[in-house]
Amino acid sequence: MIGWQTVSRDSLFTRLDFRSKLALMGVLTTVALLWENPLWGGILAGATLLACLVAGVTWRYLMRLLRLLAPFFIFILFMQGFFAGPLITARTGQTALTPVWRFPAHWPLVGGAMLSQEGLLYGLNIIFKTLTMTLVVPLAIFTTDINAMLIGLVQLRVPYKIAFVVSSALRFFPLLAGELRAILEAQQLRGLDVERLPLTRRLALYARVAVPLILGALVKSQQLEVVLQAKAFTGDSQRTYLHEARLQGADYGLMAGMALFLAAVLVAYFAWGVGRFGVPAV
């Protein structure tokens, strides 16, 4: 089950300020969107995965996340492999694509459709983009206490009401994950083996589980509203905070390194084409 969790051990990432982690997220996301070469994209995705492991994100969680995304990745790979030809031609000017496999010509609708090597590489690049932008979220969020996250957003001049809504939404994740786990365990106690159900019946079960889960979330949100009104919550940012967030040397070093990395990537991309699709990686 993919749910909210925090890292269980201290590391460099847990000691960083949330503002420097936001800079890391922004730079990695920008570079992932910019690079089109699957080799460079794969290196970036691999580095992000390694950073998650170093930060303390469990391998079990990452494997569950990858299994959840695997059907989407397979779909993207074959869709781009068959249909990305015109896009690749427009991007690179290459008119002849390298065939990998072709449907028999007598088949209806798909007869003669070609799976190209260039299309597979372009699909692989999209997979690496998605993987990098997905992994950078637990890298920054799971290593940050929600209170520190709230203070960091306020110090970035984000309106306090918006920052409070974000922090409250993150606090709801473990509650919803716990309720979902309790509902599924109740089903198992009644003799229902969820793991052995066919995919269609499992999806139908999850659809039925969504109803009490949503109702429970609505009840909790109403309780939160009553509590906020009882405490005369106004959302004014001019208030005292129990915790403080200060940028340290490691935070300044990370932000400076990310700025230099982004500048180098932009210069190499626009000046020499490093990271462009169809351009050699070295």
The tokens for 133 are 């932008």
Residue 15 predicted with pLDDT over 90: no
- Is 26 in the same domain as 115? yes
Per-residue confidence band for 245, with pLDDT thresholds at 50, 70 and 90:
confident
- Is 126 in the same domain as 155? no
**φ and ψ of 102, to 5 deg:** -135, 140
- Is 180 in the same domain as 166? yes
- Is 27 in the same domain as 41? yes
Range of the domain at 152: 147-242
What is this structure's pTM? 0.80
Number of domains in the chain: 2
- Is 20 in the same domain as 135? yes
- Is 18 in the same domain as 98? yes
- Give the pairing type, strands 114-116 and 99-102: antiparallel
Quick one: CA dihedral 92, 95, 96, 99, positive or negative? positive
> From CA 62, how far away is CA 33, in angstroms rounded?
22
Per-residue confidence band for 1, with pLDDT thresholds at 50, 70 and 90:
very low
In a domain, 165, yes or no: yes
The tokens for 15 are 């000691």
Residue with tokens 């969820």: 194
In a domain, 55, yes or no: yes
- Is 235 in the same domain as 189? yes
Going from the C-alpha of 280 to that of each of 32, 123, 273, the distances in angstroms are 17, 17, 9
- Is 176 in the same domain as 206? yes
